[in-house]
Structure 1
Amino acid sequence: MSDRPVQFSDRGGWWLAQARPHPALRPFLRSYDGYWETVAVPTRMRTLPTRTTVVIINLGPPLYLEVPDSGVRNREYGSFVAGMHDGHGMYVSPGGQRGIQLDVTPLGAYTLFGVPMARLTNAAVDLPDLLGRGAHALVERLAAAASWSERFDVLDGFLLRRLEGGPVPDPEVTRAWRLLNGDLTVTVADIAADVGWSRKHLTHRFREQAGLPPKVMARVLRFQRAVEQLTGGAGFAEAAFACGYYDQAHLNREFRALSGCTPTELIGGQLEQQRVSTLAEPA
């Protein structure tokens, strides 16, 4: 029987079960997030560009995804992998969701899934299409597990085996990712000079292994940092300066391009979700 520590929290209508992955997996993903809804309420939620590849292992009813400008409209998914995106989308749920979400670094996804991440850019792929028959067996084992601790042990074993045989990113691409993730003002020319590649070669190799070209990845990272700043209480001008935008108007344009709405609309919706969750926390 597993003795892995698992933290449970009530998020207002749904519960979250969290645990840390095996130490060898932690450079690639931060936590295991199990979830289940206590009330089957139909949901429509905006998806945003993030700094991670999202894996949904679905143990409940299917989800329906919409990705504007991609031709994807109300496509049904069970378990799936959503690659790196540079735009927004929507997911629609009939309610009663139950499953596990993994947020995997772009280069971690390249190693764990063993395919060029450019194939998954602005797309969602059914887990069996990516991993083959092993995906069905994984979902069945997770569904049959007696506890969340046991489920996370099953994930450890599965992902550690994937890690052993997966491709290793180029050192130059790994260095480029660290530079982009650490400095919002670094340019592609700076990175190319640092790693000793031409800009064209860097862009090609980085996109293949991380999913987005470095310039586009920088936009997504800047956007995500701005969302964090604004949600944390920063003003628009302050967030624009801190995240490397030219001015507040530049921030506004980027939010519309990447999220499909204004900063006020996006942050207002996120803060309302936080307020509801806080009110639902047990005393």
Structure 2
Amino acid sequence: MYAERPFPGLACVWRRTATSDAPTLVVPDGCTDIIYAAGAGAVFVAGPDTVGHLTALGPGTVFGVRFGPGVGPAAFGVPGVELRDQRVPLAELWGPSARLEDALGTADDPCDVLAAAALDRLRETPPAPLVRAIASAVSSTSVGDLASDLGLSERQLHRRSLAAFGYGPKVLHRVLRFDRAVKLAWAGVPFADIAHRTGYADQAHLSREVRDLAGVPLGQLIRS
């Protein structure tokens, strides 16, 4: 069972409860998460991903906070490309975290504890304003035009995109478009309509991209 809810300043907070060791497929969304596995007492950072990952944390409840695209690396103090497709103990990024782990272990809702810690870090080291501009425009314009609009060379845009998002702008566009398509599929939108609404050439193009990024067909993905 998975549930998420909005949280001011973050993409969302979420929890997942499993009753078996069966792995869960986690697909790219351009975001980074801080995750607390309550049973193991482990706190780690996930993503940003470029492909689907099978994750097995065993029975129990896992809590998480999700940063929007390009936001998490500012809180962690490392370029996004260093976290790409990685699962990293939070202590490796923030240093010893005994106080945080104690607070998580006694909290009524560990999501609130994780969110407070995340927002404290973002107040200290907020993402550059350029990050939002890239995320909002990368899907609607060419890389050259986006770089020009931002007063950057294409090489500068690529370097800043790697640092903020973990991807260059072309991969970022693919991931964000894929994420929009998956959300529409979850909402029950017909696949042909999804392809049209999200800018794929046709439904076959959508299908290829989903297989490349998730490793399974779209129909199977939304049933999992």
* TM-score (normalizing by structure 1): 0.71
Q: Percent identity?
A: 31
Q: Residue 51 of structure 2 corresponds to which residue in structure 1? A: 87
Listed one character per residue, the Cα deviations across residues 109-146 of structure 1 (whole Å, up to 9, x for unaligned) are 12221211111011111111111103x3211211023x
The letter of the residue matching 1:46 is L
Query: 1:266 is matched with which residue?
Result: 221
Moved over 4 A (4+): 18-21, 34-37
Match of 1:41, SS state, is: coil
Instruction: For residues 64-98 of structure 1, give each alpha carbon's deviation from its aligned partner in whole angstroms, at most 9, with x where no partner exists.
Output: xxxxxxxxxxxxxx321112111111012331x22
Instruction: Select the residue among 195, 198, 201 that pairs with 2:150.
Output: 195
Aligned CA distance change for structure 1 residues 92 and 216 (closer, same or farther; 3 Å):
same
Residue 121 to residue 114, structure 1, CA distance change in 2 (3 Å)? same
How far the C-alpha of 1:247 sits from its partner, in A, is 1.3
1:159 counterpart (115, 118, 130)? 118
Alpha-carbon distance change, 84 to 247 in structure 1, aligned in 2, over 3 angstroms: same
Q: Unmatched 5+ residue regions in structure 1?
A: 1-10, 63-77, 271-283
123-132 vs 231-240, which moves further: 231-240
Q: Tell me if 1:213 matches 2:171.
A: no
Larger radius of gyration: 1
Structure-to-structure mapping, 1:117-196, within 5 angstroms: 117-134=80-97, 136-145=98-107, 147-148=108-109, 151=110, 154-166=113-125, 168-169=127-128, 171-180=129-138, 184-196=139-151
Name the amino acid aligned to 2:33: V
User: Shift in Å at residue 54 of structure 1?
Assistant: 1.9
Alpha-carbon RMSD across the aligned residues, in angstroms, is 2.3
User: Amino acid of the residue matched to residue 179 of structure 1?
Assistant: A
CA distance in 2, matches of 1:174, 1:19: 22
Superposed displacement of residue 259, structure 1: 0.6
Task: Tell me the alpha carbon deviations over residues 184-219 of structure 1, each in whole angstroms, 9 at most, x when there is no partner.
Answer: 342212211211111111011111122111110110
Rounded to whole Å, the distance in 2 between the matches of 1:260 and 1:19 is 27
1:23-50 CA deviation, whole Å, 9 max, x = no partner?
Answer: xxx23x133334555xx42221111011
Alpha-carbon separation, structure 1, partners of 2:30 and 2:212: 16
CA distance in 1, matches of 2:57, 2:116: 30
1:84–1:122 CA contact under 8 A, matched in 2: yes
Partner residue in 1 for 2:200: 245
| TM-fit CA distance, 1:156 | 5.0
Q: Residue type matched to 1:139 in 2?
A: E
Tell me if 1:45 matches 2:20.
no
Contact 1:61 1:94 in 2 (8 A): no
Supply the distance in 2 between the matched residues of 1:82 and 1:159 (Cα, whole angstroms): 14
Runs of 5+ unmatched residues, structure 2: none
